Each structure stands twice: as C-alpha cells, then as structure tokens.
Amino acid sequence: MRFPCKMKYVIVAVALAVFMSAFPAAAASDATRAMDETVQKIFSLLSDKALAAPERREERRRLIMAEVDRRFDFVEMSMRALGRPWRGLNREQRIEFVRLFSELLKKTYIRRIEAYSDEKVEFRKENRDGKRAMVYSAIIRGDQEIPINYAMKLKKGRWRVYDVVIEGVSLVRNYRTEFSRVLRKEKYAGLVSRLRRKIEELAAKEGGADG
C-alpha cells in the first residue's frame, strides 16, 4: 500500500519546538495556543535527558504519543479518511479501523519525531468560524519553508486536529484517495488486511533496529 510521502511532516510538525511565533503568546487565539501547548510538552519530553536513555525509550514514546492523542482526533480523521464506507461499518469495525489507522500513523512517524534536529515552527495566523479553526504554520529548515496548516474542531472544550494540510495537500484527502483505490479492488476486508500488514512491517523494522 502506498502512503502519501508528504505525511512525513505531519506528526513531526507537532514535535518541534516553537522558537519563532508570528504573534506573541498573549495574542494567540485559542486553537493556536492549543497547538503551541502540545508542541511545548513534546519538546520538553524530547529534551529530557533522563528519558533519552536507551532503556527508557519506550516510556518516552508512550508519553509523546499520549500528547499526540490528546491533540489529534483520530476518530474524526479515520472517519474522514475512509469516507462514505464509514457509514456501513458497525461499531466494532469502526473501533478496529480507528485503532489500525492511528497505529499506522504513530509507528510510521515516531522515529521522525525522535530524530528532529534544527527545524523551527512559526505559527502565522488563525482563521476561526465558530467551533472550527484553521491554524496556519510553517516548518523552517534553513532557507526552506514548508507550510503546514491544522484544521481543528472544538469538542467538549478542547481543540482537536482532524486534518493537516501540507503544502496545500490535505492529509485526509490523500489517504481517502488511496483507501478508495484499495476498496474498489479488494473491498473493506482487503484494506484492513493491508493496514495490518503495513503495521507488522513497521514493527518488524523497529524490532530489527532495536537489535
């Protein structure tokens, strides 16, 4: 299964420290402050020398992913990425799909989070429409800028990310296109099998690297 190459920046963007914000923290809007809060917490974990010890790597990963879970709405992302077929899934199937999709994203990008170097993040502006907001940011790497915008929704008093737009390309739409291609040929069972195999491949690579 092919996955969008630009997705390498999705969770990386959450893991980078904010050194240059376009507006002061006091002037930032609610959704932007929420993203800033998550970035700062993850940066603190990455900077913790005690957690950097090899024997505590898994603990640090769990803590980082817990922060990602608090900010990213994987249920909403899964529903949007799967599209119309989501309506035909029963409760157990929906739970399974969310688990697989979120696990795929985490296993794919945790190493990229841990390997970040001199990138910076700038939060540029925020457009809000009721309980929805788009937070505009950019990753700065030397003289290169990578625009990354977060589509967020206010749920139960918390701003949660439900899509990421990287250089104008929607994460959710990218996955929906790929999932639709698989669904046409192999139906839902085939898609689930592919997700499981991909997760197993990533776990095997991780295990090999640990050895």
CATH number at residue 131: 3.10.450.710
Task: Write the DSSP symbol of residue 28.
Answer: -
pLDDT at 20 exceeding the cut of 50: no
Structural Rg of the chain based on CA atoms: 17
pLDDT at 15 exceeding the cut of 50: no
In this structure, is residue 207 part of a structural domain? no
In this structure, is residue 208 part of a structural domain? no
Instruction: Specify the number of domains making up the chain.
Output: 1
CA 70/CA 55 separation, integer angstroms: 25
- For 89, the domain range is 5-202
- Between 21-30, 49-58, 124-133, 172-181, the lowest mean confidence (pLDDT) is in 21-30
In this structure, is residue 73 part of a structural domain? yes
Q: Dihedral angle at the C-alpha atoms of 115, 118, 105, 107, nearest 10 degrees?
A: 0
In this structure, is residue 175 part of a structural domain? yes
Write down the pTM of the prediction: 0.80
Assign 16 a pLDDT band (cuts: 50, 70, 90): very low
In this structure, is residue 31 part of a structural domain? yes
Q: What is the mean pLDDT of residues 117-141?
A: 86
